[in-house]
Amino acid sequence: MIDLKAIDELARRLAAHLPPGLEDARADLEKHLRAGLQAGLARLDLVTREEFEVQAAVLRRSREKLAALEQRVAELEAAAKPPTH
């Protein structure tokens, strides 16, 4: 989920940079900026930091298991080789 507070803050900051003669349009522009930012970010198909951390942990565990399995296979292959004279 996208942080709506951050979008609101960004919209406010962008609207604050309006030229002096456009203060009357500030609220309307801020509303449109907020809607545009939300729509643009929604199309990016972003994940939350929490979702990213969970998937990073899953990947880390998978890599650890893979390394252990590779080591075990190497040991079994070495044990299965006939002794050379």
Tens of pLDDT along 12-65?
Answer: 787 777 777 776 777 787 788 888 888 887 788 778 889 999 999 999 999 999
pTM above 0.75, yes or no: no
Which tokens hold the place of 58? Answer: 């899953």
Which tokens hold the place of 76? Answer: 């079994």
CB distance 9 to 28 below 8 Å: no
Type of residue found at 9: E
Residue 76, pLDDT > 70, answer yes
CA atoms within 13 A on the CB side of 50: 3
Q: What is the pLDDT of residue 31?
A: 81
Going by C-beta distance under 8 Å and a sequence separation of 6 or more, which residues neighbour residue 21? none
